[in-house]
């Protein structure tokens, strides 16, 4: 063989050779690819961050025990970064305590006789918690005996012998999420408590104790709706039970539809086949009851509902189980569509026949929705065409390449749109953004105060029409193109006013954007403090004082009066990985109508007195 032939056989950069094939053990694979098992990582500031998924994976096993009829109480304790979950179920079989936490494809949930309709599918979840924890302990109490095993990053540290125990049957899991994976993080009660409440809403009779605070539900999904309602209901909540299904339905005067869906106790935040079937069947049954050719959209306008079903061997579209993909309720071939449709045809139809007062109120609501829809029908087509045409050549919208409703992609949760005012601010953000994931929408001046107006204004007002088209939310949240809608305005009175006007728009016509945690406020620095060696951006007066102290005498201090004063190069520091966002949230007591009436209505004297009283309090505090 000549020299050229020999050289051709030498390994080249990028070649696919035997040495490129690597086999990872289970814990290495989880630690290298955590997103495959728990979604994103995060630092605990948002409810879908990985540290909450770890908690949920452990809780799901305890919930499964309760669903099988074992254990009425679950104790959860979180102190600093240490999480402890103690249930009072049957306890892990003592000979398998180590295996269930450290051997993939090991679990009881393959045996449908033991866990027929469980949340966890294949025993992967607790292994992921183990691998992603710097400390992990599992201890089982069973028939007056106990055994524990401790791990570090999935590696076994110690294993006890069988010992006598006076503890009640059950399992204790303690873990500390690994900071080398999650970075600096913090568990927040604001994200934990809604998770625990959902568990008790779905499991009446179950008590969950969290750091001594008890959660319990007597009325199931009725309690869930009442916990989340932000508008007055038009008629008493319809509560229907059946084998493997529970639903709660009511209407309010809010725009849009609002749903809470669950499968085997798992909150399917992205819906799935069961929610689709429920929406269709509910509207169909109501239309058939009235024997009127109502549009489904008119029937569902203002509907607030929850559905919980139990599915044998459910198939979810991801490991985090936020969207159901199953077509059948059980292996015997009954479809979810038929199961839900038959249940509602029987139970909802019966309920409507027995409650004429609800029937009258519901019909009035549907007719009002129909009337409003027809009122805007004449301008809708023109408005849509105008928005579509404008979007094609829209100077207001600098779009990104990846969108939240794309069919695939690992970073869809990071897609965002900045809503800003003025050419200079939008220009700075546009030049410094990530064009793959970040879009920019530029407002022209202050938006209209739409409080008290009908949805017709969304189509008549060019600014709102284009914003609605950019977000793709005219027909509901299913088409939402960005996970994060970020209001980026100046930190002055005009900027605050624009924020309020935008929030009024969302609350008035698209409240689900806020309820589903899609709306944020961008925090940008007020000051830049620098010397020849270092630059520090400060978001508060306290941070400015600390920066001056750190940099020594006579640093250069710049006060940013508006976003337009921040150069594109600097802006890149504020909308990247370290971006500071304040999530816009609502509390149970915040009824949308009352909230908007106070802040955006005509109650001038009441609002004036409120401002004066609070200025006095602020003055006293200072």
Q: Report the distance separating Cα 274 and Cα 268, nearest Å.
A: 10
Q: Alpha helices, DSSP H only, in 83-187?
A: 97-102, 124-131, 179-182
- Mean residue pLDDT of the chain comes to 84
How far from 470 is each of 281, 479, 581, CA to CA, in Å? 30, 11, 21
Q: Rounded to an integer, what distance in angstroms lies between the CA atom of residue 271 and that of residue 325?
A: 9
Q: Is 5 helix (H, G, I), strand (E, B) or coil?
A: helix
Contact 441, 430 (CB under 8 A): no
The per-residue pLDDT for 612 is 59
Confidence band, pLDDT 50/70/90 cuts, at residue 325: confident
Q: What is the pLDDT of residue 620?
A: 42
- Check residues 407 and 373 and name the one with the higher pLDDT: 373
At 171-216, the pLDDT tens digits run: 999 999 999 999 999 999 989 999 999 999 999 889 999 998 999 9
Q: Say whether pLDDT at 338 is over 90.
A: yes
Where is average pLDDT lowest: 150-159, 398-407, 479-488? 398-407
For helices 356-392 and 462-471, the axis angle rounded to 10 degrees is 90
Tell me, what's the pLDDT at 406? 75
Q: In whole angstroms, give the CA distance from residue 352 to residue 177.
A: 50
Sheet with 527-530: strands ordered across: 535-538, 527-530, 556-559
Rounded to whole angstroms, what are the CA distances from 94 to 226, 448, 488, 511? Answer: 42, 66, 56, 50
Question: What is the reported pLDDT for 408?
Answer: 57
At residue 392, the pLDDT reads 46
Closest Cα to residue 134, out of 182, 169, 69? Answer: 182
Residue 302, phi-psi category: left (phi > 0), alpha (psi -120 to 50), beta (remainder)? left
The mean-pLDDT minimum among 6-15, 480-489, 545-554, 567-576 falls in 6-15
pLDDT at 609: 63
Top pLDDT among 230 and 284 is at 284
Enumerate residues 6+ apart whose C-beta is below 8 A from 155.
27
Give the pLDDT band (50/70/90) at residue 333.
confident
445 pLDDT exceeds 90? Answer: no
Residue 107: the pLDDT is 55
What integer is the mean pLDDT of 435-442?
Answer: 93
Q: Which of the pair, 42 or 340, is modelled with greater confidence?
A: 340
CA-to-CA distance for 160 and 147, rounded, in angstroms? 6
**Structure-model confidence comparison of residues 334 and 9, the more confident one:** 334
Contact 404, 481 (CB under 8 A): yes
Residue 451 is predicted with a pLDDT of 84
- For residues 340 and 334, what is the distance between their CA atoms, to the nearest angstrom? 10
Domains along the chain with CATH numbers:
28-215 (3.30.565.10), 221-372 (3.30.230.10), 394-524+562-590 (3.40.50.670), 527-559 (no CATH), 594-622 (no CATH)
Cα–Cα distance, 563 to 561 (Å, whole number): 7
Q: What is the DSSP letter of 354?
A: H
Residue 73 pLDDT more than 50? yes
Going by the DSSP 8-state scheme, the letter that residue 110 receives in this structure is T
- The pLDDT of 207-229, averaged and rounded, is 94
pLDDT confidence bin for 21, thresholds 50/70/90? low
Q: Within a 10 A sphere around the Cβ of 163, how many other Cβ atoms?
A: 10
Confidence of residue 28 (pLDDT cuts 50, 70, 90): confident
Residue 312 to residue 112: CA distance in whole angstroms: 8
Which of the four pLDDT bands, split at 50, 70 and 90, describes residue 45?
confident
H/E segment holding residue 359? helix 356-392
Q: Which residue has the higher pLDDT, 377 or 439?
A: 439
Mean pLDDT of 106-114: 50
Tell me the pairing of strands 303-309 and 266-267: unpaired
Residue 622 has pLDDT above 50, yes or no: no
Q: How far apart are CA 290 and CA 293, in angstroms?
A: 8
Distances, alpha carbon 461 to alpha carbons 448, 488, 514, in Å: 8, 21, 22
Residue 57 φ then ψ, to 5°? -60, -40
Pairwise pLDDT comparison (414 vs 17), residue with the higher score:
414
Determine the Cα–Cα distance for residues 315 and 509; give it in Å rounded to an integer. Answer: 34
Q: Which of 339-343, 463-467, 596-600 has the lowest mean pLDDT?
A: 596-600
Higher pLDDT, 421 or 76: 76
Helix runs in 393-461, H state only? 423-432, 456-460
User: Which residues share a beta bridge with 537?
Assistant: 528
What pLDDT score does 618 carry?
Answer: 40
The pLDDT-based confidence of 121 (bands split at 50, 70, 90) is very low
Given a cut of 50, whether residue 68 has pLDDT beyond it is yes
For 54, other C-beta atoms within 10 Å of its C-beta total 26
Q: Detail the DSSP E strand segments found in 447-501.
A: 484-488
In terms of phi and psi (left: phi > 0; alpha: psi -120 to 50; beta: otherwise), the region of 412 is alpha
Alpha helices of 472-603 — where are they, by DSSP H? 493-509, 511-515, 541-551, 568-571, 592-600
pLDDT of 318 reads 65
Pairing state between β 519-523 and 303-309: unpaired
Residue with tokens 């309090």: 617
Q: What is the pLDDT of residues 339-362, one digit of tens each?
A: 999 999 999 999 999 999 999 999
Grade residue 615 by pLDDT with cuts at 50, 70 and 90.
low
- Model confidence pLDDT, tens digit, residues 245-280: 999 999 999 888 899 999 988 888 888 899 999 999
- Which range of 125-129, 296-300, 403-407, 448-452 scores highest in mean pLDDT? It is 296-300
Question: Taking the CB of residue 31, how many other CB atoms lie within 10 A of it?
Answer: 18
Helix, strand or coil, per DSSP, at residue 121: coil
Distance from C-alpha of 228 to C-alpha of 543, rounded to nearest angstrom: 37
Could you tell me what percentage of the chain is helix, strand and coil, using 3-state DSSP and rounding each to the nearest 5?
40, 20, 40
Query: Is the pLDDT at 531 greater than 80, yes or no?
Result: yes
Q: What mean pLDDT comes out for the span 315-339?
A: 81
pLDDT at 589: 58
Residue 105: what pLDDT? Answer: 55
Phi, psi of 533 (to 5 degrees): -100, -25
pLDDT recorded at residue 473: 87
pTM: 0.77
Q: Which residues contact 239 (CB under 8 A, 6 or more apart)?
A: 219, 220, 221, 222, 246, 247, 248
The answer on pLDDT for 37 being more than 90 is no
Lowest-confidence region among 95-99, 209-213, 379-383: 379-383
| From 9-13, 29-33, 199-203, the region with the lowest mean pLDDT | 9-13
Task: Return the number of other C-beta atoms located less than 10 Å from residue 402's C-beta.
Answer: 19
How many Cβ atoms are within 10 Å of 136's Cβ, its own excluded?
27
Report whether pLDDT(393) > 70: no
pLDDT for 553 beyond 70: yes
Q: What is the distance, to the nearest Å, from the Cα of residue 511 to the centroid of all Cα atoms in its chain?
A: 14
CB-neighbour burial class of residue 61 (10 A; exposed 0-12, middle 13-18, buried 19+): buried
308 in helix, strand or coil?
strand
Q: Which residue has the higher pLDDT, 614 or 322?
A: 322
pLDDT at 349: 96
Among 492, 473, 489, CA closest to 481: 473
Task: Give mean pLDDT, residues 50-63.
Answer: 91
Contacts of 219 (CB under 8 A, 6+ apart): 204, 239
């Amino acid at each position: 063989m000549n020299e050229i032939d020999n050289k051709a056989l030498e390994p080249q950069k990028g070649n696919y050779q035997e040495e490129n094939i690597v086999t990872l053990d289970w814990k290495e694979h989880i630690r290298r690819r955590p997103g495959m098992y728990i979604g994103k990582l995060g630092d605990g500031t948002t409810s879908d961050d990985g540290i909450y998924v770890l908690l949920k994976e452990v809780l799901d096993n305890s919930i499964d025990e309760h669903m099988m009829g074992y254990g009425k109480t679950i104790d959860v304790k979180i102190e600093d970064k240490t999480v402890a979950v103690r249930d009072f179920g049957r306890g892990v079989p003592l000979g398998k305590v180590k295996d269930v936490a450290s051997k993939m494809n090991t679990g009881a949930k393959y045996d449908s006789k033991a866990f027929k309709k469980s949340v966890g599918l294949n025993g992967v979840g607790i292994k992921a918690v183990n691998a992603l924890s710097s400390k992990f302990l599992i201890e089982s109490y069973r028939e007056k005996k106990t055994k524990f095993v401790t791990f570090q990053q999935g590696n076994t540290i110690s294993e006890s012998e069988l010992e006598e125990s006076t503890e009640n049957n059950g399992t204790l899991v303690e873990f500390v999420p690994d900071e080398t994976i999650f970075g600096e993080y913090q568990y927040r009660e604001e994200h934990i408590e809604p998770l625990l409440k959902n568990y008790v809403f779905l499991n009446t009779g179950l008590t969950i104790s969290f750091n001594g605070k008890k959660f319990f539900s007597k009325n199931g999904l009725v309690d869930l709706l009442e916990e989340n309602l932000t508008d007055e209901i038009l008629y008493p909540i319809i509560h229907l039970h059946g084998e493997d299904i529970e639903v709660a339905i009511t209407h309010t005067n809010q725009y849009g539809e609002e749903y809470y869906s669950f499968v085997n106790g798992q909150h399917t935040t992205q819906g799935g086949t069961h929610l689709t079937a429920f929406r269709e069947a509910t509207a169909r049954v109501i239309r058939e009851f009235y024997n009127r050719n109502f549009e489904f959209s008119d029937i569902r306008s203002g509907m607030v509902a929850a559905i919980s079903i139990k599915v044998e061997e459910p198939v979810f579209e991801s490991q985090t189980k936020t969207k159901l993909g199953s077509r059948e309720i059980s292996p015997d071939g009954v479809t979810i569509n038929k199961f839900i449709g038959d249940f509602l045809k029987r139970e909802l139809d019966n309920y409507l026949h027995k409650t004429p007062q609800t029937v009258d109120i519901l019909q009035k609501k549907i007719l009002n929705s129909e009337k409003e829809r027809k009122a805007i029908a004449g301008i809708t087509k023109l408005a849509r065409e105008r928005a579509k045409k404008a979007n094609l050549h829209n100077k207001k919208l600098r779009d990104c390449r990846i969108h939240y409703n794309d069919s695939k992609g690992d970073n869809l949760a990071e897609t965002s749109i900045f809503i800003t005012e003025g050419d200079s601010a939008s220009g700075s953000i546009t030049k410094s953004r990530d064009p793959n994931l970040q879009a920019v929408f530029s407002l022209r001046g202050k938006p209209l105060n739409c409080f008290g107006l009908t949805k017709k204004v969304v189509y008549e007002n060019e600014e709102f029409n284009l914003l609605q088209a950019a977000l793709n939310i005219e027909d509901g949240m299913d088409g939402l193109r960005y996970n994060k809608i970020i209001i980026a305005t100046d930190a002055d009175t005009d900027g605050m006013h624009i924020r309020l006007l935008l929030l009024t728009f969302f609350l008035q016509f698209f409240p689900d954007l806020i309820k589903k945690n899609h709306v944020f406020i961008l925090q940008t620095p007020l000051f830049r403090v620098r010397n020849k060696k270092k630059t520090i951006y400060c978001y508060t007066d306290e941070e400015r004082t600390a920066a001056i102290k750190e940099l020594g005498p006579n640093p250069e201090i710049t006060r940013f009066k508006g976003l337009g004063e921040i150069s594109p190069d600097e802006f890149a520091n504020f909308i990247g990985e370290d971006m500071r966002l304040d999530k816009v949230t609502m509390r149970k007591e915040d009824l949308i109508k009352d909230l908007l009436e106070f802040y955006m209505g005509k109650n001038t004297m009441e609002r004036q007195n409120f401002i004066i009283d609070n200025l006095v309090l602020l003055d006293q505090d200072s």
